[in-house]
Chain A
Amino acid sequence: MEKITTAMADMLEDELMALTDKYLAEGKDPKAILDAYQAGMTEVGKRYEAGEYFVSELILAGEMMTAGSDKIKPFLKGASEAGPTKGRVLIATVEGDIHDIGKNIAGTIMELAGYEVRNLGEDVKTTKIVEEVKNYKPKLVGLSGLLTLAYDPMKAVVDQLREAGLRDQVKVLLGGSQIDDHILKYVGADVFANDAMTNVNYLNSLA
Chain B
Amino acid sequence: MSTWQEKRQARFEKWLEPGVPFASPETKAAYQGRVQRIIDAIELRKAPDRVPVYPNYTYFPAYAYGSLPREVMSDVRKAVEIWERFVKEYGFDAFGIIGIIAPIPVMEALDYKLYQWPGHGGVPEDSIYRYFEHDWLVEAREYDDLALDPTDWWMRQYIPRFCGALSGFTKLPNFTEFMELPNLAGFLAPFGLPEVQESLRKLMEVGSMTLEWMGAVGGLIGKLICDGFPTSAGGFAKAPFDTLSDTFRSFKSAMLDLRRNGDRMIAAMETLAPLAIKMAVQAIDGSGNPLVFMPLHKGADGFMSQAQFEKFYWPTLRQVFDGIIEAGGVPVPFAEGGYNQRMDYMAELPKGAVAWMIDRSDMKELKRKVGGNCCLIGNVPSSILHAGTPADVDKCVKELIDDIAPGGGFMLATGTVTDEGRPEMIRAMVEAGLKYGKY
**B308 interface neighbour in A54, A148, A177, Cβ under 8 Å:** A54
B419 at the interface (CB under 8 A from A): yes
What A residues does B384 contact at CB under 8 A?
182
Residues of A whose CB lies within 8 Å of any CB of B are: 11, 13, 51-57, 59-60, 63, 96, 98, 101-102, 105, 123, 147-149, 151, 177-183, 185-186, 194-195
What A residues does B388 contact at CB under 8 A?
182
Select the stretch in B39-47, B252-260, B271-279 that faces chain A.
Answer: B252-260
Shortest CB-to-CB span from A50 to chain B, Å, is 11
A11 and B259 within 8 A (CB): yes
What B residues does A179 contact at CB under 8 A?
383
Q: 8 Å CB contacts to A: which residues of B297-322?
A: 300, 302-305, 308
Counting chain A CB atoms within 10 Å of each CB, the highest count among B127, B359, B383 belongs to: B383
Counting chain A CB atoms within 10 Å of each CB, the highest count among B130, B259, B388 belongs to: B259
B383 and A59 within 8 A (CB): no
Give Cα A145–Cα B17 distance, bound, in whole angstroms. 44
B243 at the interface (CB under 8 A from A): no
What B residues does A63 contact at CB under 8 A?
256
Q: 8 Å CB contacts to A: which residues of B6-65?
A: none
Q: How large is the interface on B (under 10, 10 to 19, 20 to 34, 35 or more residues)?
A: 20 to 34
Chain B residue with the shortest CB-CB distance to A62: B252
Q: Closest 4 interchain pairs by CB?
A: A186-B387, A182-B383, A54-B305, A56-B255
- Chain A facing B: main interface SS: helix
What B residues does A51 contact at CB under 8 A?
305
Give Cα A96–Cα B419 distance, bound, in whole angstroms. 14
A148 and B382 within 8 A (CB): yes
Given contact pairs A55-B303, A96-B124, A60 touches B387 in the complex (Cβ within 8 A) = no
Give Cα A124–Cα B300 distance, bound, in whole angstroms. 26
* 6 chain-A/chain-B pairs, Cβ below 8 angstroms: A54-B304, A147-B419, A148-B386, A178-B360, A183-B383, A194-B338
Chain A residue with the shortest CB-CB distance to B421: A148
B337 at the interface (CB under 8 A from A): yes
Give Cα A183–Cα B415 distance, bound, in whole angstroms. 15
A177 and B381 within 8 A (CB): no
B420 at the interface (CB under 8 A from A): yes
A56 and B256 within 8 A (CB): yes
Besides the contacts A148-B385, A177-B302, A181-B383, what 15 more A-B pairs have beta carbons closer than 8 Å? A51-B305, A52-B305, A54-B308, A57-B259, A60-B255, A63-B256, A96-B127, A101-B251, A151-B386, A178-B360, A182-B388, A183-B383, A185-B387, A186-B383, A194-B338
A55 and B124 within 8 A (CB): no
B304 and A55 within 8 A (CB): yes
B373 at the interface (CB under 8 A from A): no
B416 and A151 within 8 A (CB): no
Chain A residue with the shortest CB-CB distance to B392: A182
Shortest CB-to-CB span from B41 to chain A, Å, is 25
Q: What 1/0 flags go to B367-404 for Cβ under 8 Å of A? A: 00000000000000111111110000000000000000
Shortest CB-to-CB span from A102 to chain B, Å, is 8
Q: 8 Å CB contacts to A: which residues of B156-188?
A: none
Shortest CB-to-CB span from A193 to chain B, Å, is 11
Chain B residue with the shortest CB-CB distance to A194: B338
What A residues does B385 contact at CB under 8 A?
148
**B338 interface neighbour in A55, A147, A177, Cβ under 8 Å:** A177
Q: 8 Å CB contacts to A: which residues of B392-439?
A: 416, 419-421
Give Cα A62–Cα B438 distance, bound, in whole angstroms. 54
What B residues does A194 contact at CB under 8 A?
338, 360
Give Cα A55–Cα B122 distance, bound, in whole angstroms. 28
Given contact pairs A59-B255, A182-B387, A98 touches B130 in the complex (Cβ within 8 A) = yes
A56 and B258 within 8 A (CB): yes
B387 and A177 within 8 A (CB): no
Give Cα A101–Cα B359 distance, bound, in whole angstroms. 19
A55 and B255 within 8 A (CB): yes
Chain B residue with the shortest CB-CB distance to A184: B383
What B residues does A56 contact at CB under 8 A?
255-256, 258-259, 304, 308
A149 and B416 within 8 A (CB): no
Q: What 1/0 flags go to B305-348 for Cβ under 8 Å of A? A: 10010000000000000000000000000000110000000000
What A residues does B381 contact at CB under 8 A?
178, 180, 182
Q: What 1/0 flags go to B111-135 for Cβ under 8 Å of A? A: 0000000000010100100100000
Given contact pairs A59-B255, A98-B130, A148 touches B420 in the complex (Cβ within 8 A) = yes
Give Cα A190–Cα B305 distance, bound, in whole angstroms. 29
Shortest CB-to-CB span from A95 to chain B, Å, is 9
Shortest CB-to-CB span from B69 to chain A, Å, is 12
Shortest CB-to-CB span from A195 to chain B, Å, is 6
Give Cα A147–Cα B118 distance, bound, in whole angstroms. 15
Shortest CB-to-CB span from B414 to chain A, Å, is 10
A195 and B302 within 8 A (CB): yes
What B residues does A183 contact at CB under 8 A?
383, 386-387
Chain A residue with the shortest CB-CB distance to B116: A98
Shortest CB-to-CB span from A152 to chain B, Å, is 9
Give Cα A63–Cα B260 distance, bound, in whole angstroms. 12
What B residues does A185 contact at CB under 8 A?
387
A59 and B256 within 8 A (CB): yes
Shortest CB-to-CB span from A4 to chain B, Å, is 18
Shortest CB-to-CB span from A48 to chain B, Å, is 10
A59 and B252 within 8 A (CB): yes
B305 and A53 within 8 A (CB): yes
A55 and B419 within 8 A (CB): no
Chain A residue with the shortest CB-CB distance to B124: A96
Chain B residue with the shortest CB-CB distance to A58: B255
What B residues does A98 contact at CB under 8 A?
130
